Structure 1
């Protein structure tokens, strides 16, 4: 039965992947092609079918818990982060007495609206996966940047951390499903999304906010997290002469998106999250064979036959170039005004799952069934990593999140000396 399910998934992956077999005109990506009147209903029908075929979320949660791939594994790793919240919710980070008028005066409790943009790593595809079909499902309510299921003590996400300071926070996904579902709220992340799709996502997100009666569009302070580039590297990067020319295109797309957000959304912080080093995936020695099969089918630009050390070095330089460009763009003066700030958050850039890097042994509990997406435990760790960056100045941001959260890694909190989210 599992072989049959894996075959179905691979057919789906290959059908998407085949669209990138020739160089694409940027802006004509999968996200838009499937959005036409004919394609979208068919596409959504199959996505609904995957949900029906995979059983109840409650059963999946229990199965994942038994496998120790949910945040309950933290009880053994860092119990102090599970037994109680790591910051004083009535301390310096609590909601300001008066609504701040400048972005530099924002405390965690002042964020009213939360949203997310990006791809399947932000829509939490495979977040509760224990078999192939689960990888097509979007468990967006547990997504690290845009999910708000339960509370911090049941599901660690950035929204659930911020809810500790402001229980009235709004905009996080409350259910699992597609972006067209009401429960997705302002988590616009969509599988297969690439950099050219960001502006389209931004426009849809703004339209949703404007038309939601719970949003005071002019006065509420908002936070949006952008995590993009995974599909670009997997399915698009190898169709260009060089990473330099390709990243130049991404630069234009990100600048255009940030300008649109700045000009159309008052009182906004945008987190621009850096990409991880994909070459670490090649160092893992204990991945199941299914992961290599899925890598090859769904990420052909990175997982090519006869991958050499030289080619891996080239990929690493490409990722570094992408991240350097994101950082440069986020630091541009035009994206730092009294009511707007773009912040480069590098916590994923040196992420490692290794428990023994010398032997290439990774802790696969943090990964979904495909060894690429995050498990619920992985989403929890990513949320803590983003929170850490929000508490750190530009000059001293952590560029990793340690899966085992050893004693060197201590979560930071607002202080009396500096109670604000760091946008400096």
Structure 2
């Protein structure tokens, strides 16, 4: 069989077995009546029926593992670098942008409002393909399928900040003993994923299930001192709901599901993981991706497959309705982080990070979309794009609540640092003094 034919077959198999979440959603809306899913109980409010989880273990995971290994090429990172899809490497002679003096407490703090960057011991993440780091080094459409968790902007720890700017690689500078970050090209079921439980195709309805998984992993890990270690969990969800459900489901219902699942997820973390700070990254407003210019033809085709609600021609007239729903998702997230029940203990807080609220995509000097920040499908990020997102997330984390930036800028153009006057990670409580 010719290599090209083999790749086409591999791609088709992967689309079929993309993930339990997307497969379930597709069956529900396209093939079987809505009553079909009701025959299977939603055990313990996981959001995923047990029979689907069984299929994941028996069929989905082995196929994904096989395809992952077949598509990994040792030279893909070098090719991505030549194609300007990676961040510019930082020389070893260049100092880290922040002064590290005083960035770790002399004694472990007991209040989340007195937490310094170096006090964070454990990091984890919940999300979809963006959390997975999908497409980071893709040079063709087939390599889009490789999961690069080790360079995930929220929870990847491969290398250092000089090669791969990620939130863990930033925090490792302040606390070299940080753990929980993912490494390598690992799937969620593999050891290398650690506390990065992101899944391709994940929807808002899967959020609580995934949160339970990250909590379970942290509690069962022998390295973790549950009552002493400080933990940082980052959550971002919504993109696949916008792409795959807005045009098929009642949007009012989708907003309620997102609110309920997000609330339950935060409450579950608060109840089970003492000494935890939760980052909620605001759901990205995906209208901007519909305005990309000079998009390659094969990207047009794959974008319809990946995000039919925003790209399929038959839904173009409903775009204003979808835009409003995406805005309402963001408003729901703002409401939840303000709830008093998440402010009544000293060892827990949740903060909304807002750089995605009014995101403007970078342009070339000719004022066209800069595709060097995007993977081969013109939809997911390249490693360069993930580095830019990591920089923006870090800046948000270090900005006072109520004064956070709502856009991103080129990586390393601005890098917020703790200072002697403001040494703590900003929370709703300590931001008043910053």
Is TM-score (shorter-chain normalized) higher than 0.5? yes
**Distance in structure 2 (CA, Å) of the matches to 1:228 and 1:145:** 13
Residues 286 and 360, structure 1, Cα contact 8 Å, conserved in 2: no
Aligned equivalents of 1:30, 1:260: Cα separation in 2: 15
Alpha-carbon deviations, 1:226-256, whole Å to 9, x = none?
0111111111222233x33320221111111
Q: Distance in 2 between matches of 1:260 and 1:391?
A: 25
For 1:82 and 1:206, the matched residues in 2 are separated by: 39
101 and 381 in structure 1: CA distance in 2 versus 1, 3 angstrom threshold:
same
Query: Match for 1:131 among 137, 140, 143?
Result: 140
With the length of structure 2 as denominator, give the TM-score of the two structures.
0.87
What residue is the counterpart of 2:353 in the other structure? 345
RMSD: 2.6
Contact 2:130 / 2:380 at 8 angstroms: preserved in 1?
yes
Where does 1:1-400 land on structure 2 (aligned, <5 Å)?
Answer: 5=7, 8-9=10-11, 12-13=14-15, 16=23, 18-19=26-27, 21-22=29-30, 35-56=52-73, 58-72=74-88, 83-90=94-101, 92=102, 94-241=103-250, 243-308=251-316, 311-336=318-343, 337-355=345-363, 361-400=368-407
CA offset at residue 32 of structure 1?
5.2
Q: Show CA shifts across 1:192-225 (max 9, x none).
A: 1111222211222122112211111111000000
Q: Structure 2: give runs of 5+ residues left out of the alignment.
A: 18-22, 429-434
Instruction: Supply the distance in 2 between the matched residues of 1:260 and 1:111 (Cα, whole angstroms).
Output: 20
Contact 1:95 1:109 survives alignment (8 Å): yes
1:271-300: per-residue Cα shift (whole Å, max 9, x none)?
Answer: 111122211112112211121111111212
Q: Deviations over 1:373-414 (max 9, x none)?
A: 111111111111110001111211011112476xxx522111
Q: Retained in 2: the 8 A contact 1:353–1:364? A: no
How far the C-alpha of 1:11 sits from its partner, in A, is 5.9
Give the whole-Å Cα distance in 2 for the aligned partners of 1:352 and 1:403.
Answer: 11
- Matched positions, count: 410
Gaps of 5+ in 1: none
Which string of whole-angstrom CA distances, capped at 9 and with x for unpartnered residues, describes residues 26-46 of structure 1?
969996578533442311122
Q: Note if contact 1:2-1:132 (Cα within 8 Å) is conserved in structure 2.
A: no
Residue in 1 that maps onto 2:432: none
CA contact (8 A) 2:373 2:381 kept: yes
Q: Which residue of 1 aligns with 2:20?
A: none
Alignment counterpart, residue 413 of structure 1, candidates 396, 410, 417: 417
Contact kept, 8 Å, 2:204 with 2:241, in 1: the verdict is yes
Q: TM-score by structure 1 length?
A: 0.89
Q: Is contact 2:234–2:280 with CA below 8 Å preserved after alignment?
A: yes
CA distance in structure 2 between the partners assigned to 1:54 and 1:270 by the alignment: 34
Between the aligned partners of 1:368 and 1:44, the Cα distance in structure 2 is 24
**1:175 alignment partner, SS class:** coil
